[in-house]
Each structure stands twice: as C-alpha cells, then as structure tokens.
Structure 1
Amino acid sequence: MRIGLLGTGPWAGFVHAPALAAHPDVTFAGLWGRRPEAAAELAAVHGVPAYPTVDALLADVDAVAVALPPDVQAEYAALAARAGKHLLLDKPVAATVDAARAVEDAAAATGVASVVFFTTRFGPTQEAWITEQAAAGGWFTAHCHWIGSVFTTDSPFAASPWRQQKGALWDVGPHALSVLLPVLGEVDQLTAAPGPADTTHLVLRHRGGASSTVTLSLTAPPAASANGAAVELRGTTGVTTLPDRDTEATTAFAHAIDALLAAAATGTPHACDVAFGRQVVEVLAAAEEQLLRGGR
C-alpha cells in the first residue's frame, strides 16, 4: 500500500513520518503540507517527494495518513475518501459533529477502510486490558483523569493554535473516551463542568448502566501532572486499572498502520474506525456546548 502523509507539524515529524518510513509493509509515497518549506524539509529527511497539492498526492497513493488540526483534517479526509483512498486519521477526527459525519459518509460511500489513531488503543498491553475488561462486563463505575501541563513546559505542542483554542476536552478527552466507550458503552447522558483554565470535569452515563467521571487538563502545574493518565474501573469482578503505557508513539502508530492494512484487505471495519471517531466527537461537542452555556 502506498501511503501519503498530510501534515508537517511536530506530530507528523515525530510519529507519522518515521513510522511510515520504517514500516516494512507499506511504501511512504510522499507528503503534502500547508507550509511548502516545512513540507520540503520533512520530505528531505525521509527521501520522499513533497507534493505541491493535495490532489497531486491523492493521484499517487492508495491511502493517506493525516496529521492536521481536526477542522482541517476533516476537510481533507472527506476529499481523500471521495477519491477512494483509505484513511489513517488522528484524533479527534473533526471539530464538529457535522464534519465528522461528512467524513464517515464519504468513507461509507466509497467503501474505503478507516482507522483513527488513539494512541492508547494501539499499545498492545493497553489494548489487551481494554478487550479483557469489555468482555468481563459488570462494571459499576469508572474514574479517569488525563492531566498534563502542555502550555507551561517546553512541549513542542505548546504553540498549537487548535489546542490553545479547544483545550484539554478536545485534545486528551478523546484518549479518555477511547478507553471508556469500548468498556462501558456509548454515552447517553453527560454533565460537563469547568475547572481552572482549560480543565474540564465530565460525568458520563453509559448505555450499559454504568457511570464514569473524567478530569481533563492541559494546564495543570507541572508538579500536578505526574502520573497524568489513569483509568480505574470498579464492578462485580473487583477493581482494576489501565496499565501504564509501555509503547512509544511511533510503535503504536505502526500498529495502527497494521490495522488499516487488515481492514483494507478484509473489508472488516476496525473498532477504531471513523464511525467510532464520530461517536467520540459527539460526546466532545455535547460537553463543549454545555460548557459554553455555563454548565447547564
């Protein structure tokens, strides 16, 4: 499979491009970026062409990996799907529910495979735990926190405009939901409340009857962001916690590439396809709407 990359930011440079270049079962066909000079620089690192337009890249690939802000990603993902290209997307798939549905509809219309890269879901240890807990069932409640200090450190993502605008809800919220939804079920009721800066608290009611609480932040003091991600489940089988991540992001992304190859070859949708990505966006958008209304 020939895969082209859309995007040239830090995540594209640290994760997508190296994983595509190293994967033995795909050809890293080249890339396109909104900043031609950045595209040329990243392309030179990996010895691939920098395409002048998205259309030129789409004409030369079987699939696209997208490392763009969610509002931009949705536009180009729908374009790629309509062109019959398989999709390897980042989270969240879009910044609005309508945009997420447009990508989902485009993928369904042409029958292309899709995978959304939720980092935790593609760590083998974490994925095995999620699968085990989903099969066990009987969960009463869960607590999750995803807490970082992105804007008060030398993080390469500190200057990200969309993270500054959308905050923790949209950046790390998808990670939390990618664990909770497959174990507890879809969300049918939620309450969102603001905390300090971009901190957000969610109370979720799941269709299976369980409830969960979620705390998200990108603006915690650095000392408060230690052990920043945790999920605890309590139910009929006892108490269990999500194992710490033991897989580098590039390795996890390689597993996502494997998942796309399998979905394209078999026609069997992956659990983290664009339909699941749309479900996540629905929860984020509902929470955001509540926050904009002052939590009502």
Structure 2
Amino acid sequence: MRIGLLGTGPWARMVHAPALSAHGELDFAGVWGRRTAAAKDLAERHGTHAFDDLDALLAEVDAVAVALPPHIQADLAVRAARAHCHLLLDKPLAATVEQGRAVVGAVREAGVASVVFFTTRFQPEPAAWIAEQAARDWFTARAQWLGAVFTGDSPFADSPWRREKGALWDVGPHALSVLLPVLGDVRRVTAAAHGPGDTVHAVLDHVGGASSTLTLSLTAPPAAAGATVELRGEAGVTLLPEASEDAVAAYTRATDALLTAARTGRPHPCDAAFGLRVTEILAAAETELTRDTD
C-alpha cells in the first residue's frame, strides 16, 4: 500500500513519519503540509518526497495518514476519501458533529477503509483489558485523563486548536475510547462543569445502565499528570493497566488495522463511524458546559 502523510507538526514528526517509514508493508510515498519547507524537511528525513500540491499526492497513493488539527483533518479526509484513499486519522475525528458526519458520509460513499488512532486502543495491555472488561457488568466507572500540556514542557504547548478546544476535545476522546466498549454507548451527558484551568468534569449515563465520571485536563500540575480508568461492579474493582509500548508502536498497530480493513472490507471498531460517535458525545458535553457557564 502506498501511503502519504498530511501534516508536519510535532505529532507527525514524533509518531506518524517514523512509524510509516519503518513499516514493512507500506510504501511511504510522500509528505504534504501547509508549510512547504517543513514538508520538505520531514520528507528528506525519511527518504520520501515532499508534495506542494495535495491533489498530486492523493493521485499517487492508496491511503493517507493525517496529523493535522481536527477542523482541517475533517475537510481533508473528505477530500481524500473522494479521491478513493483509505484513511488513517487522528483523534478527535472533527471539530464539529457536522464535519464528522461529512467524513463518515464520504467514507461510505467511496467505500474506503478508515481507522482513527485512539492510542490506548492499539496498545496490547490496555486493549486486552478493555476486551476482558467488556464481557462483564459494571456499576460505575471513573476516568481521569490529566495532562500538563500547558503547565509543563510539552511539544504541544503551542498548539492553537488545543488552546481553543481544551482538554475535553484533546484527551476526552482517549477516555471515551476506553469507556464506550466497556460500558456501552452514552445515552446522555447528564452534567458537565468547569474546573481549574481548562479542567472539565462530566457525568455520563450509559445505555447498559452504568454511569461514569470524567475528569479531563491539559493544565494539571506536572506532578499530578497521568491517566486512570477505574471500574467498579460485582466483579470488584479493576484499573486500566499501563502500556508497555510507546506511541510509535501503537501507531504501527493502527496502520496494521487499516491494512486489514482495506484488504477484507470489514470495518475496524475504531473507524470513522466510531470517531463520529465520540465527536457527538464531546459536543453534547460542550453544550452542558455552556449551560454551566451561563
């Protein structure tokens, strides 16, 4: 499979490009970015070509990997799908529900495969834990995803979309990607409130009868940063295990998932439709936060 990379930012440099260039079943065919010089530099580092024209890249590849802000990713994903390219996308799928629906519609119309890279879902220990817990009944869950992006030394501190959308849209997808397969879909966001900095608290009502709470932040003190998911039910208490692999290894697994979906025609659980559902829940929580502000 010939694949191109759209994006040249820190995540593209740290994760996407290294994984794509090292993958044995991919031909890393080129890089396109909004900054021409950055695209050329990233392409040279990984022995591939830089494209000035996006349509020229889309015409040369079978798939694209996207490492761009969500509002840009969504529009370009539609464009790539219409060019019959399979899609390896990042979370969140889109910045609005309308954009997310456009991506899903384009994917279905073109008949291309899609995978959204929710990091935890592609790490072996957490993935195995999620599959095991999904077979049990749980009473409630608590998810805390606390980052220090704006309080520590993070390569993403200058990210405009993260400053605009905050923790809800950046780390909220990670928490939801774990909770939804275990507790079932969200029936309703029953409450949401602001905390210090960009911290957000939300309460979710799941279709299976369980409830969950989220605490999300990109402004946590560095010493307090980390992710925890705790489930409680008749089986007792269990915690999401830590992953032994880094993001590059997880991204390689996501790439494998795209290859499989493209070859078999069977959707992956983390496809664009799942990404849309996460986007819908984030938007509902955002609406509740607006009420809290009012």
TM, length-normalised to structure 2: 0.98
Deviation at 1:83, TM superposition (A): 1.1
Partner Cα distance (1:22, 1:175) in 2 = 25
Residue 179 of structure 2 aligns to which amino acid in structure 1? Answer: L
Partner Cα distance (2:278, 2:182) in 1 = 14
Partner Cα distance (1:175, 1:206) in 2 = 17
Partner Cα distance (2:78, 2:34) in 1 = 17
Aligned positions, number? 293
Contact 2:124 2:243 in 1 (8 A): no
Query: What corresponds to 2:181 in structure 1?
Result: 182
Deviation at 1:293, TM superposition (A): 2.6
Deviation at 1:284, TM superposition (A): 0.6
Query: What corresponds to 1:240 in structure 2?
Result: 238
Partner Cα distance (2:77, 2:291) in 1 = 31
Deviation at 1:121, TM superposition (A): 0.4
- Partner of 1:178: helix, strand, or coil? helix
Query: What corresponds to 1:264 in structure 2?
Result: 262
Partner Cα distance (2:255, 2:66) in 1 = 12
Partner Cα distance (1:264, 1:150) in 2 = 35
Deviation at 1:289, TM superposition (A): 1.6
Partner Cα distance (2:174, 2:26) in 1 = 26
Identity %: 67
Query: What corresponds to 1:207 in structure 2?
Result: 207
More displaced, 215-224 or 167-176?
215-224
- Partner of 1:293: helix, strand, or coil? helix
Partner Cα distance (1:261, 1:66) in 2 = 15
Contact 1:119 1:249 in 2 (8 A): yes
Partner Cα distance (2:243, 2:168) in 1 = 21
Residue 150 of structure 2 aligns to which amino acid in structure 1? Answer: F
- Partner of 1:294: helix, strand, or coil? helix
For the aligned residues, what is the CA RMSD?
0.9
1:252 is aligned, of 239, 245, 250, to 250
Contact 2:86 2:114 in 1 (8 A): yes
Partner Cα distance (2:215, 2:244) in 1 = 22
Contact 1:19 1:251 in 2 (8 A): yes
Partner Cα distance (1:37, 1:70) in 2 = 22
Residue 55 of structure 1 aligns to which amino acid in structure 2? Answer: D
Contact 1:192 1:295 in 2 (8 A): no
1:76-106, Cα deviation, whole Å (9 max, x unpaired): 0010011111000000010000000000000
Partner Cα distance (1:97, 1:164) in 2 = 20
Deviation at 1:54, TM superposition (A): 1.0
Partner Cα distance (2:175, 2:209) in 1 = 18
- Partner of 2:228: helix, strand, or coil? strand
Query: What corresponds to 1:89 in structure 2?
Result: 89
Contact 2:152 2:221 in 1 (8 A): no
Residue 148 of structure 1 aligns to which amino acid in structure 2? Answer: G
Residue 81 of structure 1 aligns to which amino acid in structure 2? Answer: A
Structure 2: gaps (5+ residues) = none
Partner Cα distance (2:192, 2:127) in 1 = 27
TM, length-normalised to structure 1: 0.97
